[in-house]
Structure 1
Amino acid sequence: MAGIGKHFYRVGSASYSSEAVPDEDKALNEFIAQHRKKIEPWLSATFQAEHLNLLIGSGFTTAIGKIAGSPATGMGTIKLGGVYETYIDEHAQVTAKKMGRGEANIEDQLRSALAVLAGIEITDIEDAEDLRKRVNSQLRAFLESLLETEIGIAKASGKKASDMELALQSFLLSFASRTASRERLHVFTTNYDRLIEHGCDLAGLRMIDRFVGALNPIFRASRLDVDYHYNPPGIRGEPRFMEGVVRLTKLHGSLDWIYDDARRTISRLGLPFGAPLDHTGIPHDPVDTVMIYPNPAKDFETTHYPYAELFRDFAASVCRPNAVLFVYGYGFGDDHINRVILDMLSIPSTHVVIAARSMSERLELFLSRTREAQTTLLVGTHFSDLQTMTRNYLPKPALDYITARMTALLKERPLDVSMTTPTEGVQ
């Protein structure tokens, strides 16, 4: 998009573009106050949509890790080695371009490697065993890098820990604190770590996903719109919806999802957040067990299950009238996700809010296929900064009844009375 500076936003009819923001504290505070008047009311209005959804990408983990002083897992390319390395890398590059990602990353390489593995297992057992060992090694290293990210965040201490926890909780609560009579916030993520689950635990939010069970939660195909209710004191037979409940869907799987070939089920391990690298729950040969996209496991059914179910949930949740999708930390490099969002925007009453650190080519390509009236943009290291957003631009939790009551009370009072202190006018 031509003419856009490093710091840019477009909210409704208001827009702003600049190459820099003030550095001095007083000037910065005035800058924030000026733009907060335009951004915060607009976001507050969009968050009151009938259907509110949140899509989180790897940029979210990077942002939290930066606050905690811990580097996040990279998605760069890997070196598989072996006789098939060149073919795998070339195929990964081709598929990445077809998906609109541009350069290939570790997901593209693993997808190509697993496709090659499935083929040579039929014709060359020896080469298949060699490739299997290499893929297992890289998947194991990837799992360990995810755990190292969690360990770094979990071990943060002092001000870094308090700032990280405050930003994480405030961000989630800004979306999750909807009136219980409204539909629940639905959180979607392409991340494999458990940072969202960790944040929900810190904030006291209850999560609903497709896993059922206590000791060994198993992935179920049926959702049945399960929810949380409670019985108010003195009232029987009139259960009410609980507050602070969110739905969670991990579109690409999770590092604690395990496929059991014997029972043909997918279960979730009781793996603590930031578990040590030698934890017994982490398999040494994850290629056939760990359900990380695009791992197809052994049979055709698992190639599409559970990912087909997860993407059906995504499409069913966002492609509805009066739906809003807030996107944070997602680089628009997955064509299968972009396609669903574009289908969503074919409904005139839907809206997408995008927070991005920069205006990348992939984001520009996506925006070129949308209508400006249906998109809100917060671009740049200032407007998309997690701490800056939660402190200044994201709306306060909707369950702040005290502020709401005070506002209503002041509206009902005469102007001269509301401007006085309680002691003024007393004889």
Structure 2
Amino acid sequence: MSIVCLRGDTALNEQDLLAHLAAMLRLENIAVLLGAGASVVAGGMTMMRLWKDFILHHHETALRFANENFIAKEDTVIANFESANPRELPNIEGLLDKLEMSQIDWSRRKPASRNLKIFKTDIGLLLKYVVKAAILDQNAWEKAPAFDRLPYHVKLLQRLVGARQPGQASPWIFTTNYDLAVEWAAESVGIHTHTGFVGIHNRTFSPQSFDLGYRNINAKGEARFGCNDVYLAKLHGSLTWESADGEYRELAASEAWPNLSDIVNGKKAVDESLMVFPRAAKYLQTVGFLSGELFRRFSDFLARPQSCIILTGYSFGDEHINRLLRSALLNPTLQIVAFLPEFSGTEAEQLKKLKPEVRRLIALKSPRLTFVGNGENAYFNNMVEFLPDPMLYDLKEQEFRDKIKILSGDINAK
């Protein structure tokens, strides 16, 4: 497969990239940041497709958002996102944030705005599309999918876990997605997932659980600390979280599905008491503790020595995450590898297609920043194939041991 790869100001070929990733996975700390693009292979939607579907089926709602200056008029025209130089998409979560704050303000007016009922309905429609984009596979909600239904997520987890050496920390998965792709993939192959929630029948959020891990009590020495688990931080919330009476609970998929099914089928509006969406207007009341703790864990990881984070499916559209990544570059031992399909080179015309944040990072020419692109070759499924299989490590180590034996024999012969 043909890729375009830049590490600092040095171009890498495919073999160089494979070697670089093999070294990165052996660092003391490894993590992956999954954006919306990582769920497309599992049936999810990109932000582009979500927004196109929304303005196609609810154009009047989009126009009302534009008339109230929540979005630009140009954001209501599908053709503007299909041209050679498409517009940058509205930030869906930022838009929801503005809409909710305005809803609170309008509801305080005396008399209340006559448009408030329509406004609430419009917000509900947009939330419904966010939910639909994260459902992935409706059948999986009542019966968890087998490992072959999420092959690339399974392979990602297996290769991350397989690269860990005895005594090294378990890998982290940070994601902006609401879906259950990571949880389902891990369960299908027996990898335990630490989500921050503990309990069997009543799973409540306890951030201290992120400081715990598994070990094999029957093994001896360092082998006791072999890895068979991952830490999962869902930075933007989850379809299976709920907030009630000051507690945050994680529901089983089958328990959450009846409510989600009614939303998807249009039988009811999104009930945010049964789902946690991260928005500033509700920060203190609902997700201040939960979301704040997850972002603290994200920031803590980026500050660890000898660490690498791989970005895939993430388009640098979330400024709060971009700020943390920029700040993390002060950590002199942190490596960032970003798979970005729109990256095609460093010529002026090629750079124009990238977000300002990406151009800023490329301009740093830091050898701790690696960008991999060239269209679909940098998609999530292809990124996973670049990660070394644990068997390859075993073969290389065996070759190394054989060479040592040969050298030792030569020395003894002399």
2:371 pairs with one of 373, 377, 388: 377
Matched AA of 1:309 = E
Matched, 1:364 2:352: no
Q: Is the 8 A contact 1:136 1:287 kept in 2?
A: no
Task: State the distance in 1 between where 2:272 and 2:67 align.
Answer: 16
**Shift in CA distance, 374/162, structure 1 to aligned 2, threshold 3 Å:** same
Q: CA deviation at 1:93?
A: 5.5
**3-state DSSP of counterpart to 1:267:** strand
Q: Is the 8 A contact 1:135 1:287 kept in 2?
A: no
Matched, 1:140 2:128: yes
User: Quick check: 337-346 or 313-322, which moved more?
Assistant: 313-322
Task: State the distance in 1 between where 2:27 and 2:68 align.
Answer: 44
Q: Name 1:29's counterpart in structure 2.
A: none
Task: State the distance in 2 between where 1:46 and 1:199 align.
Answer: 23
Q: Name 2:277's counterpart in structure 1.
A: 292
Matched, 1:172 2:157: yes
Q: Name 1:230's counterpart in structure 2.
A: 216
Q: Is the 8 A contact 1:328 1:356 kept in 2?
A: yes
Q: Where does structure 2 lack aligned partners over 5 or more consecutive residues? A: 76-86, 344-352, 410-414
Q: Is the 8 A contact 2:174 2:235 kept in 1?
A: yes
**3-state DSSP of counterpart to 1:9:** strand
User: Quick check: 172-181 or 80-89, which moved more?
Assistant: 80-89
1:150 pairs with one of 129, 132, 137: 137
Matched, 1:90 2:82: no
Q: Is the 8 A contact 2:5 2:11 kept in 1?
A: yes
1:36-88 per-position Cα deviation (integer Å, ceiling 9, x unaligned): 432211111111222211101011111344xxxx7667441654967993468
Q: CA deviation at 1:401?
A: 7.4
**Shift in CA distance, 349/371, structure 1 to aligned 2, threshold 3 Å:** farther
Q: Name 2:84's counterpart in structure 1.
A: none
1:269 pairs with one of 248, 251, 255: 251
Q: Name 2:184's counterpart in structure 1.
A: 198
Q: Is the 8 A contact 2:313 2:380 kept in 1?
A: no
Alignment of 1:233-252 (within 5 A): 240-252=224-236
1:119-159 per-position Cα deviation (integer Å, ceiling 9, x unaligned): 12222276544433432343234323422x2238899xxxx
Task: State the distance in 2 between where 1:224 and 1:83 align.
Answer: 41
1:334 pairs with one of 318, 337, 353: 318
Task: State the distance in 2 between where 1:273 and 1:111 align.
Answer: 27
2:237 pairs with one of 231, 253, 271: 253
Q: Name 1:421's counterpart in structure 2.
A: none
**Shift in CA distance, 219/410, structure 1 to aligned 2, threshold 3 Å:** same
Q: Name 1:344's counterpart in structure 2.
A: 328
Task: State the distance in 1 between where 2:320 and 2:67 align.
Answer: 21
Matched, 1:41 2:25: no
Kindly tell me the number of residue pairs found equivalent between the two proteins: 372
Task: State the distance in 2 between where 1:238 and 1:182 align.
Answer: 10
Task: State the distance in 2 between where 1:244 and 1:162 align.
Answer: 16
Q: Name 1:26's counterpart in structure 2.
A: none
**3-state DSSP of counterpart to 1:229:** coil
**Shift in CA distance, 386/112, structure 1 to aligned 2, threshold 3 Å:** closer
Q: Equivalent pairs: percent with the same residue?
A: 21
Matched AA of 1:181 = G
1:66-117 per-position Cα deviation (integer Å, ceiling 9, x unaligned): xxxx7667441654967993468623569x9xxxx94314323211111111
User: Quick check: 54-63 or 305-314, which moved more?
Assistant: 305-314
Matched AA of 2:127 = L
Matched, 1:395 2:393: no
**Shift in CA distance, 223/366, structure 1 to aligned 2, threshold 3 Å:** farther
1:410 pairs with one of 402, 408, 412: 402
Task: State the distance in 2 between where 1:266 and 1:80 align.
Answer: 35
State the TM-score, normalizing by the size of structure 1. Answer: 0.74
State the TM-score, normalizing by the size of structure 2. Answer: 0.76
1:181 pairs with one of 132, 143, 167: 167
**Shift in CA distance, 382/146, structure 1 to aligned 2, threshold 3 Å:** closer
Task: State the distance in 2 between where 1:119 and 1:221 align.
Answer: 33
Q: Is the 8 A contact 2:30 2:308 kept in 1?
A: yes
Matched AA of 2:172 = H
**Shift in CA distance, 345/295, structure 1 to aligned 2, threshold 3 Å:** closer
Task: State the distance in 1 between where 2:302 and 2:256 align.
Answer: 32
Task: State the distance in 1 between where 2:256 and 2:14 align.
Answer: 36
Q: Name 1:31's counterpart in structure 2.
A: none
**Shift in CA distance, 389/376, structure 1 to aligned 2, threshold 3 Å:** same
Q: Is the 8 A contact 1:57 1:189 kept in 2?
A: yes
Q: Is the 8 A contact 1:151 1:273 kept in 2?
A: no
Q: Where does structure 1 lack aligned partners over 5 or more consecutive residues? A: 1-5, 17-34, 156-160, 418-427
User: Quick check: 172-181 or 211-220, which moved more?
Assistant: 172-181
**Shift in CA distance, 412/366, structure 1 to aligned 2, threshold 3 Å:** same
Q: CA deviation at 1:241?
A: 2.6
